[in-house]
Structure 1
Amino acid sequence: MAELSPIDLQKALHGASYPASREDLVTRARDNGAGAGVVDKLSSVRADRFEGPDEVQKAVFDAE
């Protein structure tokens, strides 16, 4: 599986409203047809709530 890119994450979260919970973002990613790798990565971040897409990017990519 290819590594997750910031663009993949942006596509997966297209249309998300913030603030958002981790569960909201996982649901949005699934609804947008994101692959299992993106969904798994979002599911595993430690934060429960995000104020905006920058916080999501930081949580996902700082966890690698």
Structure 2
Amino acid sequence: MLNENKGKFVTVAEVAEAMRVSKMTVYRLVHSGTLPAVRVGRSFRVPEQAVNDYLERSVYDVG
């Protein structure tokens, strides 16, 4: 049942480090539904592609 097309999952700590924000910020994004995640036991895993998509949506042109 494992789907190779789903990609890699990363931890909240890895997302926070990549985005240079606190883990609490990532948890807020997950709980608000802004950043999709899968609950595994007591922790969350975030699809790597979802992080990339979120960052692409968040970029804006200042000029």
**Higher normalized strand content (fraction of residues):** 2
Q: Highest CA radius of gyration, 1 or 2?
A: 2
Shorter-normalised TM-score: what interval? under 0.3
Normalized against structure 2, the TM-score is what?
0.28
**Higher normalized helix content (fraction of residues):** 1
